[in-house]
Amino acid sequence: MDEEKLAKFGPGPWMTEPDRVEYKAEGFPVLLLRHEELGNWCGYLAVQPGNPLHGLDHRDVSGDLWVHGGVNYASQCSERVCHVPDPGEPDDVWWFGFDAGHGFDMSPGLMRLGSPLREMLWGEYRDLEYIKASVEGLAAQIKVLSESKQYARVLEARKRNRCSQCGELPVAETEPAAYAEEPTDVVIRLKPSCDCAAAAQ
């Protein structure tokens, strides 16, 4: 038994789980990591250079992707969030991530805190199988966007209209299902995702 892990998080299903898992989903590298202090799972998926999502901030894709708690991480390889690519694959991938440490999620590390905070933070522990299903759902969505000419068209329009003050991309009023269709002549309607213009008035 991992005595250090037990002392940090206490007894629970996490004691029989690993703390790091690597594999591929829909051809994308996947990395599942346990938060070192809180004990909840974090899920990450990487896209290679040339993918239209490569280099985007997590806020730029938050309206296009759905996953538990929302996509709240985007970065190149750094510290723990990194992997060894297969032979012939690039190492300058771009990671998107999410975590299961939100409201109504139970984080083992927080459960070690005393009452009354313990009762306030109680929720459901999202186990390894839940996180795997979540990241695989995210992979399926990213695969659709990566192969969608319609999405590439919308994304280019959003980039051309990036906020000059904060750098955020505007939001496209496009139904996600439309990204699986062929490009059309439909006008792309954009709306700001920030309050810079309103604040300047």
pLDDT at 110: 81
CA separation for the pair 17, 106 (Å, rounded)? 16
* CA dist., res. 22 & res. 84, Å (int): 10
What confidence score (pLDDT) does residue 143 get? 95
Residue 18 near residue 2, CB atoms below 8 Å: no
pLDDT > 80? residue 109: yes
- CA dist 124 → 102, 103, 121, 132 (Å): 10, 9, 10, 16
Q: Alpha-carbon distance 32 to 2, whole Å?
A: 19
| Tens of pLDDT, residues 53-76 | 999 999 888 888 999 999 999 999
Instruction: Return the domain boundaries, the chain.
Output: 3-147, 149-201
pLDDT in tens, 10-44: 899 999 999 999 999 999 999 999 999 989 999 99
Taken in order 144, 145, 146, 152, the sign of the CA dihedral is positive
Looking at 7-77, which runs of residues are DSSP E strands? 20-25, 28-34, 41-47, 73-76
What is the number of H-type helices and E-type strands within the chain? 7, 7
What is the residue-wise DSSP string for 102-150?
STTB--HHHHTSPTTHHHHT--B---HHHHHHHHHHHHHHHHHHHH-HH
The string of pLDDT tens digits covering residues 96-107 is: 999 998 878 888
Q: How does DSSP classify residue 151?
A: H
| 153, burial (CB in 10 Å: exposed 0-12, middle 13-18, buried 19+) | middle
C-alpha dist (Å) from residue 13 to 10, 32, 101, 116, 129: 10, 16, 16, 23, 12
What is the Cα 178 distance to its own chain's centre?
Answer: 21
Q: In the chain, pLDDT over 70 holds for what percent of residues?
A: 85
